[in-house]
Amino acid sequence: MNLTKILSVVFFAVAMFFGYLLWKGVDDVVETKKRIALLEAATIEKLTMLRDAQLAYQASNGKYASSWDSLRMFIEGGTIWLVQRTETTKLLDYGAEQITVKFDTLGSVGVMDSLFNARKYPDFNIDLLPVVPGSGGKQFEFFADKVEKTGGYLVNVFEIRDPSPINPKRRANNNEKALKVGSRTDASTEGNWK
């Protein structure tokens, strides 16, 4: 074998090695982004479920649950009242309308059967509901309180937040953009992923 053939084989092997490293680097970035997207989608689903449970808790108790334990007890044993609202409008002689609102309680249904039934969430596990997906067992941070608004009236607020985001962009500035639902300062029940 002459020197040209040997160098050709060596350069070809080196080019293949660098080509593999380039492909592997790009593939790792793509797979990491896919993993982050899947984990964030699972986190958003859990935050949505927790928000629904908080809204039902607030409708039944007049305030939001401040801990996972109190919310869990409500999910397992609480009830949601089924109320029918009917409005009748009567036109008065002088052109004004008189609206009569009537509420009728039709019955109740368990929170677990209503919000977390097998049809809606076939793989629902209440023990894993407060656990952040992909976090190694860390639980969401719960906050609930009353906040005084302009005019002196108190508003119930809650916030459920991911304590350690997987996405590096959400970890910036002390987890400032971590996935969360609700607000500590406003009467909002929206998530920050919208």
DSSP string, 150-189: TTS-EEEEEEEE-SS-SSHHHHHHHHTT--EEE-SSSS--
Helix segments in the chain, DSSP class H: 3-61, 68-77, 111-115, 168-175
96 within domain boundaries: no
At 31-71, the pLDDT tens digits run: 878 888 888 888 889 999 999 999 999 888 888 988 888 98
Tokens of 120: 């809606």
> Chain-wide mean pLDDT for the chain?
85
At 128-174, the pLDDT tens digits run: 888 888 878 888 988 888 888 878 888 889 999 888 887 777 767 76
49 within domain boundaries: yes
What pLDDT does residue 1 have?
67
- Structural domain including 29 reads 3-76+121-182
Question: What φ, ψ does residue 6 adopt, rounded to 5°?
Answer: -65, -45
Alpha-carbon distances of 124 from 56, 121, 162, 182, rounded to whole Å: 18, 5, 19, 22
**Which residues does residue 61 pair with via DSSP β-bridges, in sequence order?**
none
In the predicted model, what is the mean pLDDT of residues 70-81? 87
72 within domain boundaries: yes
92 within domain boundaries: no
Q: Name the domain count of the chain.
A: 1
91 within domain boundaries: no
